[in-house]
Amino acid sequence: MHFTPAGSSWLDLVERFFGGLTADCIRDGSFQNVRELVDAIGECLAARNETPKRYAWKAKGEEILKKIQRAKQALRSVTTS
C-alpha cells in the first residue's frame, strides 16, 4: 500500500514546473558557462510570465480528510492482522 500525504500535491506542481523548465529551456540548449544557463532560464521564465495561467485547486478539504481516514483505517487493519 502506498499513502501519499495530502500536502504532497503542491510538491507535484513544483516537480512539474521544473520538468517543464527543463524540457522547454535547458535540455536542448548548449551553454558555455553558468551565466548563459542562468540567462536562458531567465528568458524562458520571462516569456512564460507574459501569458500566465492560473492554477485552480480542485481538491476539497473534506475529500482529503476522508482519504486520510481511509488510509489510517487501512494501516490499522494491516498492522492488527
pLDDT tens for each residue of 41-81: 999 999 999 998 887 777 788 888 898 899 899 888 887 76
DSSP annotation of 8 reads H
Task: Measure the CA–CA gap between 66 and 63, rounded to whole angstroms.
Answer: 5
**Containing structural domain, residue 61:** 8-80
How many domains are there within the chain? Answer: 1
Residue 23 forms part of a structural domain: yes
Residue 20 forms part of a structural domain: yes
Residue 2 forms part of a structural domain: no
Q: Which pTM was predicted?
A: 0.55
Which amino acid type is present at position 30?
Answer: S
User: pLDDT category, 38, cuts 50, 70, 90?
Assistant: very high
Residue 48 forms part of a structural domain: yes
User: pLDDT category, 6, cuts 50, 70, 90?
Assistant: low
Residue 1 forms part of a structural domain: no
Residue 36 forms part of a structural domain: yes
pLDDT of 5 higher than 70: no
pLDDT at position 10, please?
73
Residue 3 forms part of a structural domain: no
Give burial (CB, 10 Å; 0-12/13-18/19+) of 41. Answer: middle
Residue 47 forms part of a structural domain: yes
CB count, 10 Å around CB of 81? Answer: 5
Tell me the pLDDT of the chain averaged across its residues.
Answer: 85
- Report the half-sphere exposure of 33 (CA within 13 A, side-chain side): 1
The residue whose grid cell reads 502506498 is 2
